[in-house]
């Protein structure tokens, strides 16, 4: 593996080894006047009704509903039975890194009649590219009922989580994004936070069983 690739990969794959977890970057924005009470009921839906992958959206929905239950909230299947609505969206941005790596040319032969073996000759530098992907999740909480009379459902909390990886498969990190958001669910983080979530985290292990 190229040196740059190794450094960047290990930056996201953290803990005891390069494959033991992810560093998740989280932002929470809140206009809640008080914490959401325990046992509050939530209806969960994808933010994009024209999503190209409704099957994956349904899997994320099931994982969010399970996390709500683990955090002492209630998920409901009928929006009319809910106090709050969680809408979510996932996506990806890619970045390409361009650099050079050394390529060593060797020479060998005889010197004054003796075998001189292999030796470094000259070095050239060849270009290479590495692509990294920023996987992100956005969750928005709104009140189901509009008490303002305007018909607009005001966002009460927005949570954003992101992970940078060298893989283009978001399924490998979606559980970490969800767990990261729920670590600050309903809270205003005041600034970007970053936490390392291990692959043996109880909530990660729990979400792995939900499809």
How do residues 192-208 score in pLDDT, each as one tens digit?
999 999 999 999 999 99
pLDDT (mean) for 169-180: 94
Band (pLDDT 50/70/90 cuts) for residue 20 is confident
Terminal Cα-to-Cα distance of the chain (whole angstroms): 33
- State the pTM of this model: 0.76
Give yes or no for residue 7 having a pLDDT over 50: no
Percent of the chain with pLDDT over 70: 71
The rounded radius of gyration (Å) of the Cα atoms in the chain is 24
Average pLDDT of the residues of the chain:
82
pLDDT (mean) for 44-55: 88
pLDDT value at position 148? Answer: 52
Nearest-10 Cα torsion for 79, 39, 70, 61 = 10
Nearest to 133 by CA among 161, 160, 163, 159: 163
Domain boundaries, the chain: 3-208
Structural contact between residues 195 and 183, judged by C-beta atoms closer than 8 angstroms: yes
């Amino acid at each position: 593996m190229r040196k740059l690739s190794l450094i960047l990969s290990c930056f996201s794959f953290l803990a005891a080894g390069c494959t033991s977890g992810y560093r998740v970057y989280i932002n929470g924005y809140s206009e809640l006047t008080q914490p959401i009470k325990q046992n509050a009921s939530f209806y969960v839906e994808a933010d994009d009704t024209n999503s190209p992958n409704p099957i994956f959206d349904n899997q994320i929905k099931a994982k969010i509903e399970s996390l709500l239950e683990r955090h002492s909230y209630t998920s409901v299947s009928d929006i009319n039975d809910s106090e709050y609505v969680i809408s979510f969206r996932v996506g990806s941005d890619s970045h390409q890194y361009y650099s050079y790596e050394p390529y060593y040319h060797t020479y060998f032969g005889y010197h004054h009649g003796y075998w001189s073996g292999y030796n470094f000759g000259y070095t050239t530098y060849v270009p290479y590219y590495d692509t990294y992907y920023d996987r992100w999740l956005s969750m928005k909480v709104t009140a189901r009922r509009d008490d303002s009379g305007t018909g607009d459902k005001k966002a009460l909390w927005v949570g954003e989580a992101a992970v940078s990886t060298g893989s283009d498969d978001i399924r490998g990190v979606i559980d970490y994004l969800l767990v990261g958001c729920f670590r600050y669910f309903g809270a205003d983080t005041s600034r970007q936070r970053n936490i390392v979530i291990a692959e043996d985290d109880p909530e990660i292990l729990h979400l792995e069983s939900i499809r």
